[in-house]
A and B are shown apart, each in its own frame.
Chain A
Amino acid sequence: MTSPTSAPPAPVNTGDIPRASGGWMIEMARLAGGQLLLVRKRLMTKVLVVLLALGFAIVVGFGVLEYALFENQAIFSGANACPTVVADQTATPQPGGPPRCVTPSPQEQQQVEEARQRVIAAERTNLTFPTSLGSAGGYAQFMGLILLAILAGALVGGEYAYGTQRLAFARGAGRGQVLAAQTGALAVLALVTAALTLLLGVLSGVTVGPAVGGTVSGLTAAGVGEVLLYWLVISLVLFAGMLIALFTATLGRSTAAGIGGALGYQLLQLIGAGLLGALGGSIPGDTGTWLTRSQFLFIGPSASLVLGRVAHAPLALVGDDGTGPVAPGVAFAVLVGYCVLMVGLSYLLVRQRDVTT
C-alpha cells in the first residue's frame, strides 16, 4: 500500500499532545512520581498516617503516665503497701509463699528515693527534646515499619490485583525502569515516614517535655549531624523492610503476599534473632560466638548496632554505643545487602514475566 519511496505524511503535531521527553532516568523519576501520586490519593495512606500519629500519642501518653506515677509515688501505694524494691532486696522469698514484707530502714528508704528520682529523670529526658527523638526513632522502627509494610505491599501488589502494570508496560516502560521507580517511591516513603515520626518526636519533645519539667536544649552542629544520620539509618531500615514487601508482592503477584511477606519476616526475625542470641550466649566457644554473630544476619540486630554507632554521641539518642559481636560496618553491609538482594530478586522475577492480567 505504502510504496517504500514515498513516505506518508507525518501526523500533524498540534502541539497539545503530551509527549515523552527526557532520558531513562527522567522517565523513571516520573514513574516514581506516579507511584507517589497513587500513594497520596489512597484512602489507606490517610488511615495509616492517622494510625502512626495516634500510636505515637499513645506511646508518649504512656511515658507521661509512668512519669506521673513515679512523681506522685503511686508506685508505693499498692494494696499491700509493700514496696517491691525493698521486698526484693531484703527478703528471701519462701518457696511457694509471698515475699515477706519488712519496714524499710531510713537508709533503704533513701536508696529507694534515689532510684525513684533516677527513673523520673530518665523519663523526663526521654520526653524532652532532643532525647525525645530517640524514642520517636524507636517507634518508627516498630510501628512505622508495620504501616509501611502494609503500604508497600498494597502499592506493589495492587498493580497485579488491578491489572494496572500493563498500563506502564504497554507504553514502553521497561521492566527494570518500573521496578526502579517502585524502589525509588518506596525510598521516598521511608525517608518521609522517618522524618514525620522524628517530627512528632520534636513536637512532643518541646511541648510535653517542658510540661514534665524537662529542659529543652538546642542542637550543636555535632548534634544536628547525629540527628541527620539517625534519620537516614532509620529510613534505611524502613526501606529494607518495605523492599521485602516489594519482593514478596512481586513473587506472589498480590497485595496479601506483600504484606504477609514483610510482616512474616518481622516475626521470623523476632524468633530467629532471639533464639540465635540466646543459644549463642549459652553455648561456649566458637559455635556460640558464631551463633551470636549470625543473629546479625537479621535486619533488626544489625539496625540496632548501626544506630548505636551513629546516634550515641553527643545526644545519646540511642543508649547502646554501637559495639557488639560484629563491626558496625558489617551490620551496615547487611542492611544494604538486604536492599540489593530484594530488588535484585524482584528484577529477576519481572524481567521475563508475561503480563497477562
Chain B
Amino acid sequence: MQGSSPQGALAPATASVLANNPPLRAVGLTKRYGQRLAVRDLNLEVRRGDVFGLLGPNGSGKTTTLRMTLGLVAPTQGDVSLFGVSVSDTPRRRSLLRRVGALIEQPAFYPYLSGRDNLRIVATLSGAAADRVARARIESVLAQVELADRAGDAYQKYSLGMKQRLGIAAALLTEPELIILDEPTNGLDPAGIVDVRALIGRLARQGMTIILSSHQLYEVQQICSRVAILNLGTTVAQGQVAELLAAQSGIVVGFDQPELTARAMAALHAATAEAPWLRGLQYVAPEPGAWVPPGGFLIAVDAAVERASEVCALLARQGLFPAELRRREGSLEQYFLELTGGQNGHSTSAVAPAAQPPTRGGAQ
C-alpha cells in the first residue's frame, strides 16, 4: 500500500504500518448493553490471508464483536484494531474501513431502490464517485452473485436468498482486503450455499482475508483455515482448524450392553493412575448413521490412536470385550458442542466419570 495507492488518504508511513499488522486484533474487548454483558474480555487475532471462522451459539457475541470491529458499536472496554490501527481512532477509521467489506446479519438496503441502485448508493457511501468505474464494478459484482438479470428489480421484491446475495455483492464492491461475512448463507438454497463457499474460496485465493461467522460447522471445517469459538461473550478456543481437529481425534469404544459400557468406563477410569497417556474419558453420542449401542452411548477415550491395543488390553483384564473399537475423527461440530455445552457434548470430567451415562437428550 504505497502512498500512491488508491487509498490516497493514508500517508506512506501509516501504510507500511498497516501492511505489517494483522487485519484484525481484539484485545480485552468488552461490550455491555445495560445489564447484559454481550462480549467480555475477548481476544482475537485474524492473520493476513486467513479464512477465519467465528463460531459460537446464538447470543454468544459474534455479531456484537463484528459490529465493534466496524465501529458501529463502541466497546465498553478493550480495543479492536484493523491493520494495526484502532477502530476507535475516528479520524483514521474512515480510511481503514474503506478497506473492509462487510455483511452483518440480514443485509440492509433501501426497499424501494433496485438492487443496482442500492449498490450505487453503497459505492457513494464508500466515498467513491458515481462514475464509469463504479458502474462497471457494480455490474461485475452483480454477475458474481448471479443477480445480474434481476438487478433492475426493487429490493423489496427480492427473495431472502437474493437479498443475501446482494449483501454479499455490496461487501465485495470495493474489493476490500478484509471481508467480514456474518452468516452469509442464511436463507440460501443448497446451490446458493455451495456458490458462496466457492466464492469464499476464490476470494481467499486472491489473497483476501475473510472472517466468516457461521453456524454451518461442516462448511466452516471445510473452508476455514483458522477458527475462534465464542461462548457467553468470550473466546473459548482459537487456532488452526487442522490442529484443533487433530487434538480432537482419539479412540471410541462401544459395548452391546449398557452395563458393560458403565463397567468399561469405571475400569478405564481406575486405570488413569497407571496409564498417564489416558488423558480423558467421556460418554459421547454416536454420530448420525453410526452404530448405536443399546445404551445409546459410546466411550470416547482421549488418547493417541496408537494406544488402541493398550485400551483393549486394559478392558480385557476386566473381561470386557468391546463390540466396537475405532478411531475417532475430530469434527468441528463435536468440538464446538463440547466446548459450548451443546446437547451432544455430554462431557464428563476426565478424572471423575459419572457412574451412569447421561440421559439421552434430544440426540438422534
- Residues of A whose CB lies within 8 Å of any CB of B are 1-2, 4, 7-11, 13-22, 27, 30-31, 33-34, 37-38, 41-43, 158, 162-164, 166-174, 352, 354-357
Given the known inter-chain contacts A30-B124, A352-B74, A356-B72, please indicate yes or no for A18 contacting B96, CB distance below 8 A. Answer: no
Whether a CB of chain A sits under 8 angstroms from the CB of B49 is: yes
User: Do A11 and B206 touch across chains, with their CB atoms under 8 A apart?
Assistant: yes
Distance from B289 Cβ to chain A, minimum over Cβ atoms (Å): 37
Distance from A285 Cβ to chain B, minimum over Cβ atoms (Å): 53
Query: Which residues of chain A have C-beta atoms less than 8 A from B19's C-beta?
Result: 7-8, 10
User: Do B20 and A170 touch across chains, with their CB atoms under 8 A apart?
Assistant: no
Contacts A17-B133, A33-B130, A41-B112 known; 5 new A-B pairs at CB < 8 A: A1-B47, A1-B48, A17-B174, A20-B94, A170-B102
User: Do A164 and B110 touch across chains, with their CB atoms under 8 A apart?
Assistant: yes
Taking a contact as CB atoms closer than 8 A, the residue among B7, B71, B110 that contacts A38 in the complex is B110
* Residue interface mask B90-127, A partner, CB < 8 A = 1: 10011111101010101011111100010011111111
Query: Which residues of chain B have C-beta atoms less than 8 A from A172's C-beta?
Result: 71, 93-98, 127
Instruction: List, sorted by A's number, 30 A–B pairs whose CB atoms are closer than 8 Å.
Output: A2-B20, A8-B48, A9-B207, A10-B5, A11-B208, A17-B6, A17-B175, A18-B126, A18-B174, A30-B124, A30-B127, A31-B124, A34-B121, A34-B125, A38-B113, A162-B108, A162-B110, A166-B70, A166-B108, A167-B109, A167-B122, A169-B71, A169-B72, A170-B104, A172-B93, A172-B94, A172-B95, A173-B125, A174-B93, A174-B94
User: Do A13 and B5 touch across chains, with their CB atoms under 8 A apart?
Assistant: yes
Contact-residue size bin, chain B (C-beta under 8 Å from the other chain) = 35 or more
Alpha-carbon distance between A14 and B5 when the two chains are bound, in angstroms: 12
Whether a CB of chain A sits under 8 angstroms from the CB of B73 is: yes
Query: Which residues of chain B have C-beta atoms less than 8 A from A8's C-beta?
Result: 19, 48-49, 207
Whether a CB of chain A sits under 8 angstroms from the CB of B67 is: yes
Distance from B163 Cβ to chain A, minimum over Cβ atoms (Å): 12
A interface, by DSSP: helix, strand, loop or mixed?
Answer: loop
- Most A CB contacts (10 A, CB to CB) among B33, B47, B110 go to B110
Q: Which 10 A-B pairs have the closest CB atoms?
A: A172-B97, A20-B127, A18-B128, A163-B108, A18-B134, A172-B94, A19-B6, A34-B124, A355-B72, A1-B47
Given the known inter-chain contacts A13-B5, A355-B67, please indicate yes or no for A18 contacting B112, CB distance below 8 A. Answer: no
Query: Which residues of chain A have C-beta atoms less than 8 A from B96's C-beta?
Result: 172
User: Do B48 and A19 touch across chains, with their CB atoms under 8 A apart?
Assistant: no
Given the known inter-chain contacts A10-B2, A174-B94, please indicate yes or no for A22 contacting B102, CB distance below 8 A. Answer: no
User: Do A16 and B137 touch across chains, with their CB atoms under 8 A apart?
Assistant: yes
Alpha-carbon distance between A33 and B33 when the two chains are bound, in angstroms: 35
Alpha-carbon distance between A34 and B128 when the two chains are bound, in angstroms: 11
User: Do B102 and A173 touch across chains, with their CB atoms under 8 A apart?
Assistant: no
Query: Which residues of chain B have C-beta atoms less than 8 A from A170's C-beta?
Result: 70-72, 97, 100, 102, 104
Whether a CB of chain A sits under 8 angstroms from the CB of B351 is: no
Query: Which residues of chain A have C-beta atoms less than 8 A from B97's C-beta?
Result: 170-172
Query: Which residues of chain A have C-beta atoms less than 8 A from B2's C-beta?
Result: 10
